[in-house]
Amino acid sequence: MVTRMSDNSIYLKKLRDTNKLDEAEFIQLLETYTNEEFLLAQRMAREIREEIYGTKIFIRGLIELSSYCVKDCYYCGIRKSNLKAQRYRLNIEQVMSCCFKGYGLGFRTFVLQGGEDPYYTDELMVEMVSEIKKKYPDCAITLSLGERSFDSYQKLKKAGADRYLLRHETGSALHYGILHPLDQSLEKRLQCLKDLRSLGFQVGTGFMVGSPGQTDRDLAKDMMILQDMDPEMVGIGPFVPHEDTIFRKEDHGPVEKTLLLLSLIRIMLPRTLIPSTTSLSSVDGKGREKGILSGANVIMPNLSPMDVREKYLLYNHKAYVGDEASESLENLKVAMKKIGYQVVIDRGDSETKKYIEKLNLLCTETKAIKGVQNV
Ligand code: SAH
């Protein structure tokens, strides 16, 4: 019997060989994939990830800076009009003590994430970033503080911030409008990402899977944005409802589709850094392992002070204790070892950056050799 390759496995091979698919091909793949094709995508993603990053897992210490927010994203538990949200802010001393604890545990990247909180002025953030850099020069600082001005991003970069995470949330402007109030736009979000890129940040973007109103066509748009942008980091995770939002009755996003998308992202952007996210672990007890086995190579345990963790509630049932906590790093190492991976002590920069630096060096050397020959 002759077995014919399905269109979808042809698309997967095309994605692997060229790192590109067009939007219609992504739509077809997402709408019609079979379990076999899902497993094929996972296998390809694992192979590619191991070719580039081996079996290393990079860890980031997540410090949740503030639960105040001026934005009103309809899905988010800390949006400004949720009067029930518990609000807090961390000061520099608290952040420094998180870093101290994190450094001792082996973290070499600190991620400062929070709601959009004007309390954290440029001056305050510059002071905080400079202080962390001064004390821990061998660590990378990632910021995830939402939309700020070009000028503000520039000051943060100058102060020593290395990376910035800003998910575009959904690649369709129409769908963006379902998830956000009128004064927020996909266009603005993408402009911020461009600004960050032009300033030399390693940039991370991403989206939620299964958010209310999302279709496979929207997800295909997400994939096209990633393909065009080729970011150093991509974070995706299932949407999870929060009881004090208009989406409280919605189902959480599907785990398997999140895993398929993780694999597709790894195949399309082989060198990108992809976390196995907290939202994935929050909806599936084995989510973190499943994410890693689908091509992810980063985990971001929670390093925030214990008493604020339950206040940074973006969605219900958020995992922040147990294996999601930095205190359980040893358990995490064991869990990863069990599936064949090793947690490493490393800044964990994107191989893209190293790759470009290598290419630049090669160019300079080639030019130098040519220069010598020309003499
Ligand atoms: N203020 C920052 C950080 C936002 S919180 C910013 O604007 O980038 C980090 C991420 O959590 C968001 O980008 C969003 O994708 C995710 N998130 C928020 N609410 C969520 C929910 N209900 N379910 C799943 N993910 C959610």
Q: Is 76 in the pocket of ligand 1 (CB under 6 A)?
A: yes
Dist. CA 166–CA 334, nearest whole Å: 31
For the segment 25-68, what is each residue's pLDDT rounded down to a tens digit? 999 999 999 999 999 999 999 999 999 999 999 999 999 999 99
Residues 6 or more apart whose Cβ sits within 8 Å of residue 304? 62, 63, 64, 90, 98, 312, 320
Best of 76, 144, 304 for a ligand 1 pocket test (most atoms within 8 Å of beta carbon): 76
Residue whose Cα lies nearest atom 11 of ligand 1: it is 314
- Atom number, ligand 1, closest to the C-alpha of residue 113: 3
Q: How far does residue 205's CA lie from ligand 1's centre (Å)? A: 11
Contacts of 257 (CB under 8 A, 6+ apart): 30, 209, 210
> Residue 364 burial (CB < 10 Å; 0-12/13-18/19+)?
exposed
Is any ligand 1 atom within 6 A of the Cβ of residue 247? no
What tokens appear for 305 in the block? 């002070």
How high is the pLDDT of residue 318?
82
Amino acid 144: pLDDT: 98
Nearest to 179 by CA among 241, 268, 267, 125: 241
Maximum Cα interatomic distance, the chain, rounded to a whole number of Å: 74
Residue nearest to atom 19 of ligand 1 (CA): 76
Q: Is 204 near ligand 1, meaning CB less than 6 Å away?
A: no
Give all domains of the chain, ordered by start, each with its CATH number: 17-371 (3.20.20.70)
The 10s digit of each residue's pLDDT in 257-267 is 999 999 999 99
Spatial contact of 15 and 264, defined as CB atoms under 8 Å apart: yes
The tens place of each residue's pLDDT in the chain, 375 residues long, gives 555 678 899 999 999 999 999 999 999 999 999 999 999 999 999 999 999 999 999 999 999 999 999 999 999 999 999 999 999 999 999 999 999 999 999 999 999 999 999 999 999 999 999 999 999 999 999 999 999 999 999 999 999 999 999 999 999 999 999 999 999 999 999 999 999 999 999 999 999 999 999 999 999 999 999 999 999 999 999 999 999 999 999 999 999 999 999 999 999 999 999 999 999 999 999 999 999 999 999 999 999 999 999 899 899 988 766 667 877 899 999 999 999 999 999 999 987 656 666 667 777 776 676 665 554
Beta bridge partners of 141: 110
Pocket of ligand 1, candidates 72, 196, 208: which has the most ligand atoms within 8 Å of its Cβ, to mutate? 208
314 lines ligand 1 (CB under 6 A): yes
Whether residue 240 has its Cβ less than 6 Å from ligand 1: yes
The best mutation among 142, 203, 314 to test binding of ligand 1, ranked by most ligand atoms within 8 Å of the C-beta, falls on: 314
Atom 6 of ligand 1, nearest CA residue: 146
Torsion of CA 190, 192, 196, 197, to 10 degrees: 20
Cβ of 144 less than 6 Å from ligand 1: yes
pLDDT computed for residue 5 by the predictor? 72
- How far is the centre of ligand 1, averaged over its atoms, from the C-alpha of 27 (Å)? 25
* Structure confidence at residue 110 (pLDDT): 98
Contacts of 201 (CB under 8 A, 6+ apart): 153, 157, 161, 162, 163, 164
Buried b (16+ CB within 10 A) or exposed e, 205-220: bbbbbbbbebebbbbb
Q: Is any ligand 1 atom within 6 A of the Cβ of residue 166?
A: yes
Angle between helices 35-53 and 255-268 (to 10 degrees): 50
